[in-house]
């Protein structure tokens, strides 16, 4: 059974068709990337997966169930982090994790928070308000929040955007470790081709709201007769 099954979803905003008949699957333990130029429909697709946007046509199935069924139970099994979404800056790291642990119905809240603080090397920052943290530290808190419910599917929208190469590399290593150690499925969008090459088992290239190519990074490079994913991206983006 697929963790996530996106079937022929379409979303229009007025006269603009943001997503046009997109289909893909994410299996257990798989890391799947959505790539494409700005405006390709990646974020809208992710928002449909998260139930934030309702598709005009098609359906999203999580763990075999339609998302418009028991939304609360299904959303409790996934989690989300994005470069453009922040957490309340006035709260401390520990408070943020405690609030989200309650939101996701975690049973042993203090235990889970302590585990995450240790796992993401946040112990020393636990009493510091988020607004006083650096971008890299805030990203680690975002990831801790995204792992608070030990999700079966982790949805990450440009998780390393705005991070410097050093911190970005550490975050990638952390995510890779999580994918390998826990066998957790991930759906990722990014504009960093090396990140996608390094992390994803399968990549769906989107352009103008459609999936235009699918495969692993080497398969895609072969198909387009280029050396790497960046060259594939340029081919797709420039038609």
Partner 1 sequence: MSALLASAASRQRVLAVVLRDLYALRRSIVRVFEVVYWPLVELLIWGYVSVFLQGRRVPAVIAALLGGVLLWQVLFRSQSEVSMAFLEDVWSRNLLNVFASPLTPGEYLVGMVAFGFAKLVASTAIMAAIAFLLYGFGLFSLGPALVPFMFLLLVMGWALGIFTVGVVLRFGHSAEVIAWALSFAFQRSRPCSTPSTSSRARCRRWPPRSRPATCSRACER
**CA dist., res. 172 & res. 25, Å (int):** 22
Closer to partner 1 by CB, 60 or 220: give it: 60
Question: In Å, how far are 57, 85, 88 from 105, measured between CA atoms?
Answer: 31, 21, 19
- Measured N-to-C along each axis, helices 135-146 and 93-103 cross at an angle, to the nearest 10 degrees, of 20
Nearer of residues 39 and 51 to partner 1, judged by Cβ: 51
Considering the complex, what minimum distance in angstroms separates the CB of residue 38 from partner 1?
A: 19
For residues 177 and 180, give the distance between their C-alpha atoms in angstroms, rounded to a whole number.
5
Q: Which residues in 123-162 contact partner 1 (CB under 8 A)?
A: 129, 145, 155
Q: Which of residues 160-189 bind partner 1 (CB under 8 A)?
A: none
In the bound state with partner 1, the residue whose beta carbon lies nearer, of 100 and 233, is 100
How many residues make contact with partner 1 (CB under 8 A)? Answer: 31
Give the separation between CA 141 and CA 125, rounded to whole angstroms.
10
Which H helix or E strand runs over 146?
helix 135-146
What is the rounded distance in angstroms from the CA atom of residue 125 to the CA atom of residue 39?
37
Bridge partners (DSSP) listed for residue 187 = 32, 155
Among 66, 102, 180, 223, indicate the residue that binds partner 1 (CB under 8 A): 102
> For residues 36-65, which are near partner 1 according to CB under 8 A?
50-52
User: Which CB, 6 or 155, lies closer to partner 1?
Assistant: 155
Are the beta carbons of 203 and 209 closer than 8 angstroms?
A: no
Tell the smallest beta-carbon distance from residue 215 to partner 1 (Å). 29
| Shortest distance in whole angstroms from residue 214 CB to partner 1 | 25
- Which region, judged by CB under 8 A, interacts with partner 1, from 10-18, 26-34, 66-74, 180-188? 66-74
Residue 90 is a binding residue for partner 1 (CB under 8 A):
yes
- Residue 38, classified by CB atoms within 10 Å of its CB into exposed (0-12), middle (13-18) or buried (19+), is exposed
Q: Shortest gap between Cβ of 229 and partner 1 (angstroms)?
A: 28
Choose among 159, 168, 213, 163: nearest CA to 36. Answer: 213
Tell me the window of 54-62, 67-75, 171-179, 225-233 that interacts with partner 1 (CB under 8 A): 67-75
Select 91 or 226, whichever has its Cβ closest to partner 1. 91
Orientation angle between helical segments 165-182 and 135-146, nearest 10 degrees = 20
Q: Which residues here bind partner 1, judged by CB under 8 A?
A: 50-52, 71-73, 75-76, 79-80, 82, 84-92, 95, 98-100, 102-105, 129, 145, 155
């Amino acid at each position: 059974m697929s963790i996530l099954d996106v079937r022929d979803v379409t979303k229009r905003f007025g006269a603009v068709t943001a997503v046009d008949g997109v289909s893909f699957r994410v299996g257990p333990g798989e890391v799947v990337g959505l790539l494409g130029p700005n405006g390709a429909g990646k974020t809208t697709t992710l928002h449909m997966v998260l139930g934030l946007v309702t598709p005009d046509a098609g359906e999203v199935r999580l763990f075999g169930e339609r998302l418009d069924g028991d939304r609360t139970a299904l959303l409790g099994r996934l989690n989300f982090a994005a470069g453009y979404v922040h957490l309340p800056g006035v709260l401390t790291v520990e408070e943020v994790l405690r609030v989200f642990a309650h939101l996701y119905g975690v049973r042993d809240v203090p235990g889970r928070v302590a585990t995450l603080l240790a796992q993401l090397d946040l112990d020393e920052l636990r009493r510091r308000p988020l607004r006083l943290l650096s971008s890299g530290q805030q990203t680690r808190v975002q990831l801790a929040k995204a792992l608070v419910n030990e999700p079966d599917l982790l949805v990450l929208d440009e998780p390393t955007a705005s991070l410097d190469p050093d911190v970005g590399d550490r975050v990638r290593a952390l995510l890779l470790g999580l994918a390998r150690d826990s066998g957790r499925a991930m759906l990722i969008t990014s504009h960093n081709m090396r990140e996608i090459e390094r992390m994803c088992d399968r990549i769906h290239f989107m352009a103008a709201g459609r999936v235009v190519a699918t495969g692993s990074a080497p398969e895609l490079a072969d198909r387009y007769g280029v050396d790497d994913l960046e060259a594939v991206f340029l081919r797709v983006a420039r038609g």
